[in-house]
A and B are shown apart, each in its own frame.
Chain A
């Protein structure tokens, strides 16, 4: 049976990729709705951080096996 850390890694990776894509799209074509601190592109770096965390959990599961 796969451990919970595999599913945590999977969830963070999938959602992180989606958030990163949104960040890239906003970077290329700035949205009409302006958010406070939108200029620091939080979607982009937070999405990348989530993907990194997700991969870390997936690697933990792989090493456990």
Chain B
């Protein structure tokens, strides 16, 4: 099946994207002279730049395709990923956690674990994050090649190698700075390349109201059917949404995943770093106007026999990810097709660049300098960062070939996220807000949380236990299982860390100043105008979030 046919102008649009990102890498190389430039973009970005990069690092093409497809499958419940499943966590990061991260001048999240706890907790998290990042990067590469082969007909090997080498060149030359620049360009390309799908869909169907009217009632609401799991498309209750997605998965990802938090570290001062996730929250709330709308438009069209629209079927299975590409093929003439493909390409490549730039930092500081070469010079670390970039891309390509020969690896993706991020959030929360949590409590609690998440995934997959045991519900989807597994991993880590901390040695409080809430002086913002304070914008963000949830209740 090939949905797109590219003309000369389409190829020119795609080629211009490659020229621009490679040119950016060359241009920024002259401003990348030391390790701070390479790993932290010189710590000179404004809140707007860091905020857009913070959001874009999470805005991969895989997510756009997957969430549009999920909307087709589950309805408006998917908006929970963008609203309650993101905004509270982003605001919590900006208002409560960022002062500890930014003021301690760490270069990575594992770096905080070293200062707050000890070296072994840092290395454990560094290795887990490094493995996760390269797996995600490789699978992202595989997914990109698969999408381009399915919808554009491009050769699998050529699209994978060309994009991987391009990422290696521009990240290798100028590190986080070029990753951030290309992420922001990607943000605009995604809006200009894909929002038109929603606009043309609304024009064809009539109005947003008409779209919501034509889908099943349970597909057009957010909360009103969440009291009973059997009454909504996602087969989940409000408790699963709030505890699993809204609390553990969301906070675990947005407050501890170095891929996104690294963008805030690049801000020029603490106020800008705190504003980074707060500003990003407004753009995050707007994304359903691309993703959810497009998914609902695809659903309405597929329910209308006269529209001639149907999702791709492969081996008797519906390919939900085909919703967005098929809408592009339906509405986009020559020129715009190239823009749509470029938006998807930019999403894939920027996502890969984000993973690689986070990996090179964690490898260089939290594994290489921490364990292998403790006396490495600034110049040597800069060199090591570039080597790690190339090696990271090579391992990603290897992972992509592995995924090609073993496609069920995709099933493990959700497990990888809840394996690393969900328990880490418990460790961070206790570490930042409870002064008597000990290094051994944190290490063994984290290890147990990671292990339990992985065990629960295998136990359900191989039917050692029923999914209903984890989800506390007789009817539950795989998505509900993911949410609840994350909750249990978080809870096990949280409880064990507390229990072990009762019996093990604490760190002296003098070593925890600046790292723990009750031992750190509050940030003085008395000279900051009211409308420039992160708290003001966080409150506005909460008001918008509540209004959206009430409107679509």
| Residues A4 and B333 in contact, CB atoms below 8 Å apart | no
Given contacts A11-B185, A19-B336, A43-B336, contact A35 B330 (CB under 8 A): yes
Render B333-355 as a binary contact track against A, CB cut-off 8 A, 1 for contact.
11110110010000000000000
CB < 8 Å neighbour of B184 from A4, A18, A40, A43:
A4
- Count of A residues near B, CB < 8 Å? 31
Render A35-65 as a binary contact track against B, CB cut-off 8 A, 1 for contact.
1111010110011001001000000000000
B200 within 8 A of A: yes
CB < 8 Å neighbour of A42 from B5, B331, B338:
B331
Render A1-34 as a binary contact track against B, CB cut-off 8 A, 1 for contact.
1101001101110110011111101100001010
| Residues A15 and B339 in contact, CB atoms below 8 Å apart | yes
B168 within 8 A of A: no
| Residues A23 and B335 in contact, CB atoms below 8 Å apart | yes
B188 within 8 A of A: yes
Size bracket of the B interface: 35 or more
CB < 8 Å neighbour of A19 from B9, B20, B24, B28:
B9
Render B280-321 as a binary contact track against A, CB cut-off 8 A, 1 for contact.
000000000000000000000000000000000000000000
CB < 8 Å neighbour of A22 from B20, B180, B185, B333:
B333
Given contacts A7-B181, A10-B20, A46-B196, contact A22 B49 (CB under 8 A): no
Chain B residues in 8 Å Cβ range of A1: 28, 31
Given contacts A37-B200, A37-B203, contact A53 B192 (CB under 8 A): yes
Given contacts A36-B330, A37-B203, contact A4 B181 (CB under 8 A): yes
Q: How far is the CA of A14 from the CA of B184 in the complex (A)?
A: 16
Q: Can you name the residue of chain A whose Cβ is closest to the Cβ of B24?
A: A7
| Residues A42 and B184 in contact, CB atoms below 8 Å apart | no
Q: How far is the CA of A31 from the CA of B346 in the complex (A)?
A: 27
Q: How far is the CA of A7 from the CA of B25 in the complex (A)?
A: 12
Q: How far is the CA of A61 from the CA of B519 in the complex (A)?
A: 43
Chain B residues in 8 Å Cβ range of A38: 333
| Residues A40 and B203 in contact, CB atoms below 8 Å apart | yes
Q: Can you name the residue of chain A whose Cβ is closest to the Cβ of B343?
A: A15
Given contacts A18-B12, A19-B9, contact A26 B334 (CB under 8 A): yes
Chain A residues in 8 Å Cβ range of B338: 18-19, 22
B189 within 8 A of A: yes
B470 within 8 A of A: no
| Residues B7 and A22 in contact, CB atoms below 8 Å apart | yes
By CB atoms of chain B within 10 A, which of A8, A25, A35, A38 has the most?
A: A35
Chain B residues in 8 Å Cβ range of A46: 192, 196, 336
Q: How far is the CA of A1 from the CA of B333 in the complex (A)?
A: 37
B127 within 8 A of A: no
Render B355-393 as a binary contact track against A, CB cut-off 8 A, 1 for contact.
000000000000000000000000000000000000000
Q: Can you name the residue of chain B whose Cβ is closest to the Cβ of A34?
A: B333
| Residues B203 and A33 in contact, CB atoms below 8 Å apart | no
Chain A nearest CB from B286 CB (Å) reads 16
| Residues B20 and A7 in contact, CB atoms below 8 Å apart | yes
Chain A residues in 8 Å Cβ range of B180: 4
| Residues B332 and A35 in contact, CB atoms below 8 Å apart | yes
Which B residues, 1 to 36, have Cβ-Cβ distances below 8 Å to chain A?
5, 7, 9-10, 12-13, 16-17, 20, 24, 27-28, 31
Render B402-421 as a binary contact track against A, CB cut-off 8 A, 1 for contact.
00000000000000000000
| Residues A22 and B188 in contact, CB atoms below 8 Å apart | no
Given contacts A10-B20, A42-B196, contact A31 B9 (CB under 8 A): no
B505 within 8 A of A: no
B204 within 8 A of A: yes
| Residues B192 and A50 in contact, CB atoms below 8 Å apart | yes
Given contacts A35-B332, A43-B336, A50-B192, contact A11 B20 (CB under 8 A): yes
Can you list 5 A-B pairs with a CB-CB distance of less than 8 A? A15-B189, A22-B335, A37-B200, A42-B333, A43-B333
**Additional A-B contacts beyond A22-B7, A42-B196 (18; CB < 8 A):** A1-B31, A4-B49, A4-B180, A11-B16, A14-B16, A18-B13, A19-B336, A20-B335, A22-B333, A25-B9, A33-B334, A35-B331, A42-B332, A42-B333, A46-B192, A46-B336, A47-B335, A50-B192
